[in-house]
Chains A and B, each alone.
Chain A
């Protein structure tokens, strides 16, 4: 398979996955861009794996989990060219007003969040999720159950959080 073929077939799905992980369109694009640059450069190695798509998803998930606040790319670009990013919406505020679930999701530790996206958005079984997160199957289960418990607790609270149960 050629790199362009892979991009053509998979990029949109990767971008969707990244949006669910980060909750934010711009962060998702940065994440995908960071990852795909490395994929393109190391394409020979990537394409030699059994399922390149899984390997790339793993690269992207790791980048998400390991990153600190936003990618360094965005921080550097933002700092140097602040006018390029539209300084319009306060995402945090919008999340609270419109979608309590997203707000709660954004407060979860990144690995827990990734585990939730893999199970409830990608509909992946625990074995595949473990492959992508690079952990044991049992770890996936405990990540998911802890995350759900936190969400239940956060979303059960009254009006302060937009109360959705």
Chain B
């Protein structure tokens, strides 16, 4: 029957259908060019042809790695450095008081998208907190983690912007329940401890306290929450906590980029749709899914550094001040040279805190 022959012919032809992904990139390049021409002048068929000639070299299709992400609607165009403040609060009841930002991290993406750099900011850093009229906050000197209490994510954003001298594109705040949900949804996070961590518990004698040994394991949300909130690992300051949290974010990024969640945009959007209620995101015009997609390979190269600071007491309050090296770090950040600064300081022990720490700046192994 002719109908059967037809179906069979179509079935045979399926083997000749090429992979669609290289085409996506060509389409995007052509569409961008097309759009630009339309804005600049009347588009004629000839102009479109010129644009496509310049970009859509058919041979390129054979060379493009299908795994290369499509350059779709980029989070920023043209590519410029991005800065986002990530903060973890100790809020345990979403309906309750906002909690304090015990973890403040500036996530910096250089213009070339070669990696993601995390700068941890000590929560006890003594700053001049600006007034914030919307909440009636009059402004005062205090620890930077008070900014969130007094003026929410927006005031925190401003303080970090003032501290570092860069403009901040957005904020991502996560509380305890949100963190637990995110980790549970991932089925745990594979995370390595460089050194044993003893859990602070004044109700138990020191030799009976829980110790997490050094080493790697896939850890659940309860365990991670306990590890990442430990602050009394040094006599003063929370430098170890900063480091652990930065290491955790690096491990998280690596796990997500290696998994199937970033296999394609659909999978990423599904992940995001599930996760978005566990975060308070304010990214302005930036689409978080487009952003993560654009950073898909950059997220495989996450490095971190602690903002240099040392313990100092102000009016009887035990706080932390910027070390002399800090302005150099912020200079590097502002001139899109943070990667170089981190490379130069990698492996050096921190000179500005009482007890030595291992790998104060680090990358992902």
Contacts and interface: CB of A to CB of B under 8 A. Distances in A.
A155 to B, nearest CB: 7
A82 B27 CA distance: 21
Contact of B18 (A20, A25, A33, A101): A25
A120 B6 contact: yes
B347 interface: no
A148 B2 CA distance: 7
A15 B26 CA distance: 14
Interface centre among A37, A72, A121 (most CB of B within 10 A): A37
Contact of A37 (B9, B34, B57): B34
A101 B6 contact: yes
A121 to B, nearest CB: 4
A49 interface: no
Interface residues of A, number: 46
Interface string A82-120: 001100000000000001011001000000000011001
Contacts of B58: 26, 77, 81, 84-85
A120 B72 contact: no
Contacts of B41: none
Interface in B7-53: 7-10, 12-14, 16-21, 23-24, 26-28, 30-31, 34-35, 38, 45, 49, 52-53
A131 B106 CA distance: 52
A127 interface: no
Contacts of A73: 49, 52
A29 B23 contact: yes
Contact of B27 (A23, A36, A77, A164): A36
B266 A81 contact: no
B10 A80 contact: no
B31 A11 contact: no
Given A4-B290, A85-B58, A29 B18 contact: yes
Most buried by A among B2, B12, B14, B16: B2
A151 B12 contact: no
Is chain A's binding surface mostly helix, strand, loop or mixed? helix
A72 B44 CA distance: 13
SS class, residues of chain B in contact with chain A? helix
A9 to B, nearest CB: 5
A68 interface: no
Contacts of B35: 41
Contact of B264 (A8, A77, A164): A8
B2 A121 contact: no
Nearest to B61: A29
B49 A76 contact: yes
A28 B28 CA distance: 17
Contacts of A19: 13-14, 16-17
Given A3-B73, A41-B31, A105-B9, A25 B16 contact: yes
A29 B52 CA distance: 14
A15 B23 contact: yes
A77 B21 CA distance: 21
A152 B264 contact: no
Interface of B: 2-3, 5-10, 12-14, 16-21, 23-24, 26-28, 30-31, 34-35, 38, 45, 49, 52-53, 56-59, 61, 70, 72-73, 264-266, 269, 287, 289-290, 293
Interface of A: 2-5, 7-9, 11-12, 14-16, 19-20, 23, 25-26, 28-29, 32-33, 36-37, 40-41, 72-73, 76-77, 80-81, 84-85, 99, 101-102, 105, 116-117, 120-121, 148, 151-152, 155, 164
7 contacts: A5-B265, A20-B10, A29-B18, A32-B27, A81-B57, A84-B58, A155-B5
